[in-house]
Amino acid sequence: MINIKNLTFGYSPKKTMFRNLNLSLPAGNIYGLLGKNGAGKSSLLRLMGGMLYPIAGTVEVAGHTPRKREPAFLQEMYFIPEEIYLPTVSLNRYIDTMGPFYPKFNESQFRKYLTEFDVPADQKLTAMSYGQKKKVIISFGLATNTRVLIMDEPTNGLDIPSKSQFRKVVASALASDRLMLISTHQVRDLDNLIDGVIIIDESEILMNHSLTDISDRLMFNTLSQVTESDRVLYAEPSLRGYSVIQENREQEDSRVDLERLFNAVVTNREGIKNLFH
């Protein structure tokens, strides 16, 4: 669904952000794009959305070239930016003016998501809080039923109950021919939601694997002492000793801790890379 080949991009030709970047994401999954601030997450998403143009290489999304910004492509891709904008119109007016642009937009689905998010249907968009506006945009994006849904830091501005509502609503909207890509630096917001993890750091994709793949190869464990024989790839002190990531040689089950995984991938690049190759 999303194929990036040898992508080179930079805001100025002298200073490139990505060089020969490759990424392939099949449909039917929710991906989490993780990275530190300034790692290039938003730029990568905007390249996929056609808001930025690559210097070299190709970006293909749902069979289209995003930089052409063709209506056929834009009808199949909904982009939720980090900072959102809603016009000063009523909710009904918003549906009337924006809905017809998306052939698969479903109004009842939109209203259902709004209800799930506890957004009052009769409230004016201008009278809504930032968090409520964000929920409107997320609900609208889900109800467009586009094949690709890109969300850049969607949980920013959402309160704690809304974050779990977000996970529930997004998970329910996934279909086999749909791809959702969520960028965040708040990894806990993606717990129990994503199927695949993409970790980007210093303009490089350090990891692009499914959670199943990750839990097959890595074990998330707690140890009282860390010894060399434990084959620990990453360790951080915790109340009960050390929270660690070990090589999963015995194929034991463990729950992927995204925050620990991210720290491990960023601090022990080579160790993790070797394990997944």
27 binds another protein (CB under 8 A): no
Tokens of 106: 């479903």
Kindly report each contact of residues 120-129 with a partner whose C-beta sits within 8 Å and lies 24 or more positions away, as own/partner: 121/91, 122/91, 123/91, 124/90, 124/91, 125/86, 125/87, 125/88, 125/89, 125/90, 125/91, 125/94, 126/88, 128/86
Can you tell me whether residue 117 is helix, strand or coil? coil
The alpha carbon of residue 117 and the mean position of all alpha carbons in its chain are separated, in whole angstroms, by: 20
Q: How far is the CB of 250 from another protein (least distance, A)?
A: 47
Q: Which is nearer to another protein, 69 or 273 (CB)?
A: 69
Q: Which is nearer to another protein, 158 or 233 (CB)?
A: 158
Q: How far is the CB of 251 from another protein (least distance, A)?
A: 43
CB burial readout 190-206, b (16+ within 10 A) else e = bbebbebbbbbbebebb
Task: Tell which positions 43-72 bind another protein, by CB under 8 A.
Answer: 46, 49-53, 68-72
Asked if 90 and 147 touch (Cβ cutoff 8 Å), the reply is no
Q: How far is the CB of 76 from another protein (least distance, A)?
A: 9
104 binds another protein (CB under 8 A): no
97 binds another protein (CB under 8 A): yes
The secondary structure element, H or E, covering residue 180 is strand 179-184
127 binds another protein (CB under 8 A): no
Single out the segment in contact with another protein by CB under 8 A; choices: 23-31, 55-63, 98-106, 193-201.
98-106
Q: Which is nearer to another protein, 77 or 219 (CB)?
A: 77
85 binds another protein (CB under 8 A): yes
Q: Which is nearer to another protein, 149 or 194 (CB)?
A: 149
Q: How far is the CB of 142 from another protein (least distance, A)?
A: 15
The residue count of the chain comes to: 277
Q: Which is nearer to another protein, 78 or 117 (CB)?
A: 78
Cα(173)–Cα(16) distance, integer angstroms: 36
Q: Which is nearer to another protein, 32 or 50 (CB)?
A: 50
Asked if 35 and 198 touch (Cβ cutoff 8 Å), the reply is no
Positions in the binding site for another protein (CB under 8 A): 46, 49-53, 68-72, 74-75, 77-79, 81, 83-85, 87-89, 93, 96-98, 100-102
